[in-house]
Structure 1
């Protein structure tokens, strides 16, 4: 089957009826919107579309963002946008208003660490904003590519412009509320100037009005007050301060802090002044620890107070940092949407000598574990299915915590115009790893490198007789930024399900269990639909074939020996020679990604399991 040719959009150049048309709601290449000609679709999400465009008035490339909430609206004739049904109109209009307000605010701000808006306007039933076309790399990618944690001077150089940018927006009673390493990019030839991205105001308004479970609250970066609307726990400057401190924590340790919702019940946070002592000054670590306090009133109450506690220097460019791989010919293009993760180094961008933290005290994570690739491995990426976070209500848990706590002192801070959605309370951590019994007879793989696809084959070949597992999906062709992952699992035995995702670039992610979805039991004869409403997962770049391996085991299994990182509650596992090195001291005949059984005390362990594989085609 082939699609009929798209009609020429109103205002597009003559003779461009056959212009390239992207899947989804994006406009055809060549469309003209005022003086801007669309030359490429950069990204299409659930709330907007970003295009690369040529500004024919000033003869420059720009990024043009169109308000397009795909759940509420559809593309009409030409360039027009219309609501899908009248019942969606109020929500659509509220999101449109928020989109315009965000553009208006950004247009007023003038700071090198904030996105600049050149122009915004309403037309065709929607709205647009035009911004610079930024080229650089996310802070997340930058940190992953380092051989070790950056030193204190570099972190201070990062914090200074970001803190000053937050002071600017906080002065207007505007709060970012989504600060994270993937929302900060480093610009310039040596990637030394930080830029804060993605306020996402329209997304929050729509999600608040529809109670749609699509707001992205990043576990570890979102403070407690973002999880529930409570009268005496307002959001304010301290909300962004928590997230900014969490970014520093990630830079130092290579992992996100414990989720704030879990910390309110059982705080497992280990202060940086203990875990990173000797590598950074005590005053610096203590200030970050305080900014990560669970209770808002215990954090610095303004960015100015944080700057004073950190004794930050005057704004200056960051020193260049070394990457593990400087031979890559690909370049990551960053724009004001969540970009796909690609290799870090770019041609023409030489990287200077390392600025690693002092090694007098062992790092909380070995340098080998912070590298994103070895000589035989492909680079790390974000999970192909981007976890949108657990978004069911935790009002009871938060209310119980707050009922026992005194109300903080009143502050003359304006309340944010939007309340983000709440999320599910993480369950307690799994029990300790118990001794193993004999594993199924599986031929050991005597190799110096571990290939996930081959290991998947071994897992499927070694499953226990009578432990049948079936997996199925109604839709196996998923569009990036549009379709969500959904599949069913049926087991003929009681057990615990584990789901691994092998992406087109060779990155291996443990999708389930995770920091949010800790309860992963399945009963005999039961059919589960996963991931479920608590943690929707949307297809994201890169395009290609994605393998899902589902293992149902009589006992929970632990793959922590292969863990090399985590983000948004999902665990990345080592592959290739790196995986082989991590398992070099083990003599288990089990396939590498089957893991070790985890049993409660006084329980006989068994390694019986069943498994099935499912393949998805991820397309633009």
Structure 2
């Protein structure tokens, strides 16, 4: 991909003399050994002197800097995808291998496009970019240095859920900001409580982490998977399905998930799990009496699993909330709660905001699930986008709209309907135990993780498999979110044979998996089968590179209908003779921690 013409210097700083460019920068000290790719304190980039590192993630590094031209503090974001590139000399950035150059260049173009987009926007709830430029084999973006507390931290400090007036004020500002970027055919794609900053001086919310912001023209971007936060990302961000296109409704879902988390104290269930068995209790039921019916109905509509069940534009969503009907001053900025003991401020760029995700090479029609994480985390899509179930639309709102700004009185008690038995969800650990019990006694398999704990955004999954016999390796993983994937073989690795006595290290270099949310235990079942096994009767749904197996009530129904020994999730051996289904198995677990 060709690179766009380098941007001219911005209007604020003076242009460099003829023959000079911002590339002609210098650094005073060299990076200290062991400090990674971050530039040291005292380094100079053009007119900016670096004061300290605010954050370092998988796609870039954010510095606090002093602008010597305008005598002000700024934040500088440097494009530095750590899995593709490294520091060479005091300033230069180079790829770690020639094969990474096309992907690195594509990410660099995306970084510049992100900066260009942000520079166009002018709204108090959107990040502002002062200028950006290419130099030293990479690029830089200069922004204001914001201070405040994230919405995530603010909600944690509150003793109880915020009231409707506070949430409406929050939504008024954030929906205004979204309307600005949507008007330019852009999406945020990463709205979450930790990506909203409440400014220290005014309490105004500021949308952070436009790493997923992307120009959307027609269907061009449907091939890209954005940064995903389970619980906040809608279903259309998980897989490429022509009927599930992304649009303003994508950001509306995430914003409503944020409000749901504020009201309920926990985020909604993962959207892809809701396609199988929707366990998300509507707010009109869960929060009745604490907020007006109109407010709750609007949030529930925005949380519809189906994109066409949500408001299709920010304006439609604001109308549902009644924000545009409020008199001037009726929705003030949210008041800051009293801070809990300890630090309550966080710089806007201080957590290594994710840069624009890299457009990954295509393999077998599936989006590549690595290098998608925000803070150095590659997204392992442990979510079961199995089959589309429960396609019924959200029921139309029938309650008369109540005034926004004061919670409606509790409704009179209604007749309690007869309770119905809730479907029993699949026990993944139970299936793994049954799988292990049915293994062949003379087929020894050992599997062990490289580390018992994996830190989100820092560690990479790794484990080893050995077998006493030749066979075919299959790895199942049950995630903290209740999903179940066939991790190996996959679209990137179809040759799953192992020799007797061989130690197989997984994942392989062609499909590395870094640790990402959600936190919790991940359970693995490893099968080494004498014959190849077939899982196609269980599911045909792919999530990125991996086959997604049914969970919840659907998975439980399959398990209950399994008549043979072992687990239905072990698949079927491709052989026809009696007693040919011989395999060895091993189980292990790792804890995913923050």
The TM-score, its normalising length taken from structure 1, stands at: 0.58
From 243, 267, 281, give the equivalent of 2:278: 267
Matched residue of 2:186: which SS? coil
Q: 1:154 maps to what in 2?
A: 166
Asked if the contact 2:79–2:111 (Cα under 8 Å) also holds between the matched residues in 1, the reply is yes
Deviations 1:164-205 (A, max 9, x none): 00000001001111111111111124x721111112148999
| Aligned residues of 1:118 and 1:131 also touching (Cα < 8 A) | yes
3-state DSSP of counterpart to 1:244 = helix
> Where does residue 113 of structure 2 map in the other structure?
101
Query: Does the CA-based 8 Å contact 2:384-2:485 persist in structure 1?
Result: no
Distance 2:273 2:593 in 1: 35
8 Å Cα contact 2:185-2:215 kept in structure 1: no
Aligned position for 1:514: 481
Distance in 2, matches of 1:268 and 1:281, equals: 23
Q: Which residue of 2 aligns with 1:296?
A: 307
Match of 1:218 in 2: 229
Change in CA separation of 1:339 and 1:331 when aligned onto 2, cut-off 3 Å: farther
Q: Secondary structure of 1:306's partner? A: helix
| 1: CA distance, partners of 2:275 / 2:520 | 37
Is structure 2 residue 186 aligned with structure 1 residue 174? yes
Q: Residues 392, 254 of structure 1: CA spacing in aligned structure 2 closer, same or farther, 3 A cutoff?
A: closer
Provide the rounded CA distance (Å) in 2 between the counterparts of 1:470 and 1:204. 44
Structure 2 CA distance, aligned partners of 1:615 and 1:239? Answer: 31
The residue that corresponds to 1:121 in the other structure is 133
Aligned partner of 1:486 among 454, 457, 462 = 462
- 1:388 aligned partner: 379
Q: Select 1:327's aligned residue among 331, 341, 348.
A: 341
Is 1:40 equivalent to 2:56 in the alignment?
no
Task: Report deviation, 1:528.
Answer: 9.9
What is the aligned residue count?
440
Q: Assess, with a 3 A threshold, how the Cα gap between structure 1 residues 136 and 515 changes in structure 2: closer, same or farther.
A: farther
1:285 Cα deviation after fit: 0.2
RMSD: 5.4
Q: CA deviation at 1:249?
A: 0.6
Structure 2: unaligned runs, 5 residues or longer: 1-22, 355-374, 394-422, 431-444, 469-474, 488-500, 526-558, 562-585
Mapped contact 2:161–2:262 kept (Cα < 8 A): yes
Match of 1:252 among 260, 263, 285: 263
Query: Over residues 83-135 of structure 1, what are the superposed CA-to-partner deviations in whole Å (9 max), with x where a residue is unaligned?
Result: 33333332222211111111111111111111111111111121110011121
Counterparts of 1:53-92 in structure 2, within 5 Å, are: 53-92=65-104
The alpha carbon displacement at 1:428 in A equals 8.3
Aligned to 1:359: none
Does the CA-based 8 Å contact 2:93-2:137 persist in structure 1? yes
Q: Per the alignment, in what secondary structure is the counterpart of residue 49 of structure 1?
A: strand
> For the residues of structure 1 that align with 2:215 and 2:514, how far apart are their CA atoms?
18
- Determine the structure 2 residue equivalent to 1:229: 240
What's the offset of the Cα at 1:330? Answer: 6.8
Does structure 2 conserve the Cα–Cα contact (< 8 Å) formed by 1:46 and 1:71? Answer: yes
Secondary structure of the corresponding residue to residue 297 of structure 1: helix
Which whole-Å CA distance do the structure 2 matches of 1:133 and 1:25 have between them? 22
SS at match of 1:179: coil
Q: Which has the larger radius of gyration?
A: 2
CA 1:166–1:547 in 2, change beyond 3 Å: closer, same or farther?
Answer: closer
Deviations 1:330-353 (A, max 9, x none): 74334164579xxxxxxxxxxxxx
Match of residue 138 from structure 1? 150
Q: What does the per-residue CA deviation read over 1:519-572, in whole Å, with 9 as the maximum and x for residues that have no partner?
A: 99xxxx9999789999944499xxxxx9999999xxxxxxxxxxxxxxxxxxxx
User: Residues 389, 535 of structure 1: CA spacing in aligned structure 2 closer, same or farther, 3 A cutoff?
Assistant: farther
Gaps of 5+ in 1: 1-8, 341-383, 406-426, 435-467, 500-510, 541-545, 553-598, 602-609
- 1:416-457: CA deviation from partner (whole Å, max 9, x where unpaired): xxxxxxxxxxx98345999xxxxxxxxxxxxxxxxxxxxxxx
The answer as to whether partners of 1:114 and 1:195 remain within 8 angstroms in 2 is yes
TM-score, structure 2 normalization: 0.60
Task: Determine the C-alpha separation between the residues in 1 that align with 2:302 and 2:520.
Answer: 40
User: 1:217 deviation in Å?
Assistant: 1.3
1:279 maps onto 2:293 in alignment: no
Give the 3-state SS of the residue equivalent to 1:41 in structure 2: strand
CA drift at 1:514 = 3.5
1:439-490: per-residue Cα shift (whole Å, max 9, x none)? xxxxxxxxxxxxxxxxxxxxxxxxxxxxx998552x7999995542434599
- Residue of structure 1 equivalent to 2:425: 429
> 2:495 matched to which residue of 1?
none
Q: After superposition, what is the alpha-carbon deviation per residue over 1:577-596, rounded to whole angstroms, capped at 9, x for unaligned?
A: xxxxxxxxxxxxxxxxxxxx
